[in-house]
Structure 1
Amino acid sequence: MKIKSIAILAITLLIISCSTTISTTNKEYKITKASQFKSHCNLNEWFLEKDTLIGHGVPMHWGVMESKKRLPKNYEIVFKVNMTEGSLFEVMLNIDKEKYIRTYLYQIDQNIVIGDGIYFKNDNSYGKRGGKTLFRKPMELENNKWYSVKIKVLNNQLFFTVDDKTLECSLEKSSLNQKGKLGFITNGEVKITDLKIKHHSKLN
């Protein structure tokens, strides 16, 4: 029985390490150990403290984290976020060839936003990170408050929900990336807990 359990664990780890997408055998990825998370992501200005992912940035140098593997074609990302400092927290979706989808919370404008973004890894200059707004919805946002975030991509339709506010758009109609990696950006300090990435395999 013990040998069988070890064999199952070995196969599971092999599937995770060889897969080109962020997924596991049970189609759901969670933060567990710091060492495992580091093997999946380029953390840069981010680190894992117990079960909390923490990012640090400043207005002139955003704190960026990027996954090493691609997101599945259809996926769901859920987590809780607290912007303890700064005005911007952004989830980078489908990062590919310096382009990505912007889904973010922006305190200055008091909006949640979907946008068309660009990201040059080694360039913090104006116009090399961020991008234009496509859709927005007013929402009261403040520091030191926890928000529940749910992002779902199903058949090229994007749903971005923060608490009870939802934005929706078609990736194809908005000419947005339909594949790529995951990332996070902050211009202050952000804390993330209960992060789960679910792979909707039956829709692929």
Structure 2
Amino acid sequence: MKSTIAIIYFVLLSNLLLVQHSTAARIIYENNLQQAIPEDWQILNPDWSSTSQGWRGAKHNGNWAILQSPIQLPENYEITFSSQLEADSVLVEVMLNLAVDEHSAGQMYRYLGVLYGALNKTLQFEDRSLYAPAYMGEEHYSAQTEDNIGRLPQAHIEISTNWVDWRILKLGSDIYIWLNQEEIAHYSDRLNVVPNKGRLGFVVNGSVYLKNLKVRALDPEEIKKPEYFNNKASLWNRGYILFQ
């Protein structure tokens, strides 16, 4: 009897360890962002520094602070982190699927931008380009919106200078955004503006803290779209609002 119980206990413990290992294996990056910025993170535009509150990005000499991670995002993923805008800051932008444009000789990148903007009080998706200094004849990188201006969704939100908890979920061509556990915006990439693969990055206009970054690759059984998502974002196109 004791040997049977021991075998059952061993089997249960083994299964538990396998489940824990499987769960941990899906985390492809985790960092509380409260230590020095690792060398494999590229500071494309200063100023970026590490503080006890988190990594701080600040506009420098009129140029937006831009930070590129080493994280290669998979096809389906979940990103969570927290951001805090300092007073009078304008923008924190999340760069999703940052990838080199194959026609630019490595001098231009394409990505989907998710912009948390204080001026317009919006969270918006934008089809973005990142230009290297040599491409533009400048001394700094430049992030710009050129194509599909006003054709991607945006949501009007309350901008906070407190910590904001982000959750970004990409399932195939669908991207969902939560802020402080509240459903905010959904974008279905019908225009094919999101590169298939690419890196994660951040852009700051003003001064912003970042902390508690985690990126998970989603297993096939987790790839289930929300049955109902309270999407607050709409499309603004030639003066008409078209709901996504």
Tell me the TM-score normalised to structure 2 length.
Answer: 0.64
User: Structure 2 stretches of 5 or more lacking a match?
Assistant: 1-23, 101-108, 224-244
Q: Deviations over 1:94-126 (max 9, x none)?
A: 01121110101111111110110011132569x
User: Structure 1 stretches of 5 or more lacking a match?
Assistant: 1-23
Q: Deviations over 1:5-41 (max 9, x none)?
A: xxxxxxxxxxxxxxxxxxx845242115746x51441
Distance 1:56 1:65, change over 3 A: same
Q: Which has the larger radius of gyration?
A: 2
User: 1:56-135 counterparts in 2 under 5 A?
Assistant: 56-58=58-60, 60-85=62-87, 86-97=89-100, 98-122=109-133, 123=136, 128-131=142-145, 132-133=149-150, 134-135=152-153
2:210 to 172, 187, 192: 192
- How many residue pairs match? The answer is 178
C-alpha separation in 2, matches of 1:93 and 1:59: 26
2:38 alignment partner AA: K
Task: Report what 1:53 is aligned to.
Answer: 55
Task: Report what 2:155 is aligned to.
Answer: 137
Aligned sequence identity (%) = 20
- Partner-residue secondary structure (3-state), 1:38: coil
Is the 8 Å Cα contact of residues 64 and 184 (structure 1) preserved in structure 2?
A: yes
Which is worse superposed, 70-79 or 55-64?
55-64
Specify which structure has the bigger relative contact order, considering alpha-carbon pairs within 8 angstroms and separated by 6 or more residues.
1
1:68 alignment partner AA: P
Is the 8 Å Cα contact of residues 58 and 187 (structure 1) preserved in structure 2?
A: no
Which is worse superposed, 74-83 or 41-50?
41-50
Task: Tell me the C-alpha RMSD between the 2 structures.
Answer: 2.7
C-alpha separation in 2, matches of 1:139 and 1:47: 28
